[in-house]
Amino acid sequence: MTQLIFEYHILRQVIFEILEEEAALEVRERDIIIDSIEQAVNDAATQFSQTLRDIQELFMVTLTHDLRNPLNVIKMGTHLTLRRLEQGDTHVNIGAKMLSAIDRLNSMIQNLLDASQLRVGQSLKFEFEECSLNSLVRDVVEDLNFAYGDRFVLFSDVAIRSNCSRKEIRRVIENLAINAVKYGAPDTPITLTLEQIETHISLTIHNEGNPISSDAQSILFQQFRRTISAGDQTGWGLGLFLAKSIIEAHQGTIEVESAQGKGTSFIVKLPKLTY
């Protein structure tokens, strides 16, 4: 892009030199030439940027698609291997960890695909249905406790229902809960509080530990932005960006509260089911 603009500047200078060999150009004539060159630069820059975006999107989609094929083979092979192992075999735990790692990679790939769609202005496609949120959150907590050792505690009103995409809301809950494991204080409870109040449904995921600074909070939900506290944790910096996009597609909101001595809470608010 820099070279392109530089060459247009040379072109403009050459045009002026040739046209003014015999007599100076009038101001209006010079303005017409300058405006024409500037318009050409703008058109070229726009086309260049669009072409670059198209190439990047094609590369991203192709890469993530190609990554999934070998991952699926590895996952199927690991499942088959686990079936042949007897319970109590030390290799069972290794196989379970392998499956967990594969699932994380698949999740990261899906995040890249979804982020690519959002960057080009496409909306994510959801299948909405009436669902029991307390049942959904309870299922997620059971799976998380199995994976992370009974750290998750659920406080839930009974029979809270909403119109939602079960798959995507589960994805949001898992993302926020696993972040609480990654960045929260180790060996402390992580609480999920689901309640229905007068105006909306609220889900709060809270963890103890060092607070998130106000500067870090301002970029938490931006794509490809990671806070300093993320350190060596794996990820693309897309999880919270996509969580926000999913919740907004459900006509809801997501926000964070974090302070010294109070830990960190991510609060998801969803509309109540109307009949």
pLDDT in tens, 157-190: 778 988 988 888 988 998 899 889 988 999 899 9
∠ at Cα 141 (161, 200), nearest 5°?
Answer: 30
Query: 204, 257 in Cβ contact below 8 A?
Result: no
Q: Which residues pair with 194 in a beta bridge?
A: 156, 203
Q: Report how far Cα 147 is from the mean position of its chain's Cα atoms.
A: 22
Q: In angstroms, what CA-CA distances link 209 with 65, 84, 153, 193, 254?
A: 37, 41, 16, 18, 20
Q: DSSP secondary structure string, 174-189?
A: HHHHHHHHHHS-TTS-
Query: Could you tell me the pLDDT band of residue 228, with boundaries at 50, 70 and 90?
Result: very low
Q: Looking at residue 146, what is its pLDDT?
A: 77
Q: Which residues pair with 254 in a beta bridge?
A: 268
Strands 190-196 and 152-156: parallel
Using the structure block, give the residue that is written with the tokens 């449904």. Answer: 201
Q: Looking at residue 226, what is its pLDDT?
A: 52
Q: Which residues pair with 207 in a beta bridge?
A: 190, 264
pLDDT at 224 over 70: no
Query: 219, 225 in Cβ contact below 8 A?
Result: yes
User: What is the C-alpha separation between 59 and 142, in angstroms, rounded?
Assistant: 38
Q: In angstroms, what CA-CA distances link 108 with 68, 91, 141, 176?
A: 11, 26, 21, 14
Task: Write the single-letter amino acid at 86.
Answer: E
- At 222, phi and psi to the nearest 5? -95, 145
Task: Write the single-letter amino acid at 233.
Answer: Q
Query: 217, 255 in Cβ contact below 8 A?
Result: no
Question: Which residues have CB under 8 Å from 159's CB, separation 6+?
Answer: 132, 134
Query: Could you tell me the pLDDT band of residue 275, with boundaries at 50, 70 and 90?
Result: low
Specify the higher pLDDT residue, 101 or 272: 272
Both structure tokens of 220: 């938490």
CB atoms under 10 Å from CB of 246, counted, come to: 23
pLDDT at 122 over 70: no
Q: Which residues pair with 193 in a beta bridge?
A: 155, 204
Both structure tokens of 6: 């530089």
Query: Could you tell me the pLDDT band of residue 266, with boundaries at 50, 70 and 90?
Result: very high
Specify the higher pLDDT residue, 115 or 139: 139
Specify the higher pLDDT residue, 63 or 80: 80
pTM > 0.85: yes or no: no
Q: Looking at residue 215, what is its pLDDT?
A: 83
208-228 mean pLDDT = 75
Task: Write the single-letter amino acid at 30.
Answer: R
12-31 mean pLDDT = 88
pLDDT at 88 over 70: no
